[in-house]
């Protein structure tokens, strides 16, 4: 009897008139600590694929312990892409990621490999999978707006945004994002909110979400943070601080790193920073679940199912019911 991969291939060829179908991009999503990296590796081994990182904090070189970056042993020989591509002083860009991820996907498919995204940064996953346009940037406009923010604060900028883009003004709480929304309006003449993505795949794709028991996840996240601390998180933060961590826009905001920088400054201690990191990580996991739960295209599977890999692999072939074969189609939500 043909396994999931053979069944998927046969179904795909039948739907394409005997020609092999373009395989869907596979995305493994879910909250932090749910086992996305392990499932992605298992699927890569099962289906003949390679993994593309979609966790924005794992882009950074040296941020290993605090981001739970997958180790060489845990990769089990599966090539991983877009890990360790930035210094901590550099800013992560979802637009740059989109270009890099799509180029990698095209290369993998040209070599007969499956492309498997793994990560919990929801916007980055959607940038790789969905029809999503990114407006450009203008450093001169950005500098002028940032200078206004520095001298007058966020209130007048927010008031200006309310006049041209009330949707964004009501949604954005971060001053840096308000600056960005005004920059986009000045640059394009369009409200920033008009660039928000719709749930339309740019090409065949399947998303697999890991369904978690929330109380068990809470306990797992606490254990994981304690393990990070015991493995040398403070020393990692100290080393990165010497390399310019505080000069970056995104890296110093990462979970654990922000809390342990305060330890280095004498404003906290290890015990307090550990508890603050646990709380922040649990809150982040809740936000991730809210984000991914809003996407009806995701197929949810029990994170502790002994048949998890087999069930996930069965969803990953072209032509399989519930998997889109054209850009823009949405599979029915799985029965649960």
**For residues 97 and 108, what is the distance between their CA atoms, to the nearest angstrom?**
16
Which residue ranges are tagged as binding site for ATP? 30-37
Number of Cβ atoms within 10 Å of the Cβ of 67: 23
Q: What are phi and psi of 266, to 5 degrees?
A: 80, 10
**Residues 265-274: contacts with CB within 8 Å, 24+ apart?**
270/229, 270/234, 274/225, 274/226, 274/229
**For residues 244 and 178, what is the distance between their CA atoms, to the nearest angstrom?**
26
Give the DSSP letter string of 165-233.
Answer: -HHHHHH---HHHHHHHHHHHHHHSS-GGGGPPPS-BSSSEEEEEEE--HHHHHHHHHHHHHHHHHTTH
**Under 8 Å between Cβ of 320 and 24:** no
Question: Which residue from 47, 48, 51, 104 is spatially nearest to 74, judged by alpha carbons?
Answer: 51
Which residue ranges are tagged as binding site? 30-37
Question: Which residue from 318, 329, 336, 334 is spatially nearest to 11, judged by alpha carbons?
Answer: 318
| CA atoms in the 13 A half-sphere facing the CB of 217 | 23
Which residue ranges are tagged as binding site for substrate? 32-37
């Amino acid at each position: 009897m043909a396994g999931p991969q053979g069944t998927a291939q046969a179904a795909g060829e039948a739907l394409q008139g005997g020609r092999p179908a373009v395989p869907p991009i596979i995305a493994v999503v879910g909250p932090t600590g749910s086992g996305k990296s392990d499932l992605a590796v298992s699927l890569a081994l099962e289906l003949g694929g390679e993994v593309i990182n979609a966790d924005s904090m794992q882009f950074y070189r040296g941020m290993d312990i605090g981001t739970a970056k997958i180790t060489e042993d845990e990769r089990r020989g599966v090539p991983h892409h877009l890990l360790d591509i930035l210094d901590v002083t550099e800013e992560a860009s979802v637009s740059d990621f989109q270009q890099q991820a799509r180029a990698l996907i095209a290369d993998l498919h040209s070599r007969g490999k499956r492309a498997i995204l793994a990560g919990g940064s929801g916007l980055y996953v959607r940038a790789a999978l969905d029809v999503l346009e990114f407006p450009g940037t203008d450093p001169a406009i950005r500098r002028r707006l940032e200078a206004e923010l520095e001298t007058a604060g966020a209130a007048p900028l927010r008031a200006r945004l309310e006049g041209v883009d009330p949707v964004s003004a009501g949604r954005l709480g971060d001053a840096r994002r308000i600056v960005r929304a005004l920059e986009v309006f000045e640059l394009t003449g369009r409200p920033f909110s008009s660039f928000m993505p719709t749930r339309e795949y740019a090409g065949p794709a399947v998303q697999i979400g890991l369904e978690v028991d929330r109380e068990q996840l809470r306990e797992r996240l606490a254990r994981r943070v304690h393990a990070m601390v015991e493995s040398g998180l403070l020393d990692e933060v100290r080393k990165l601080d010497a390399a310019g961590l505080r000069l970056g826009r995104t890296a110093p905001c990462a979970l654990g790193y922000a809390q342990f920088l305060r330890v280095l400054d004498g404003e906290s201690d290890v015990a307090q920073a550990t508890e603050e990191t646990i709380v922040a990580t649990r809150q982040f996991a809740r936000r991730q679940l809210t984000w991914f739960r809003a996407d009806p295209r995701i197929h949810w599977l029990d994170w502790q199912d002994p048949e998890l890999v087999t069930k996930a692999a069965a969803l990953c072939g072209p032509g399989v019911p519930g998997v889109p074969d054209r850009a823009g189609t949405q599979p029915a939500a799985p029965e649960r």
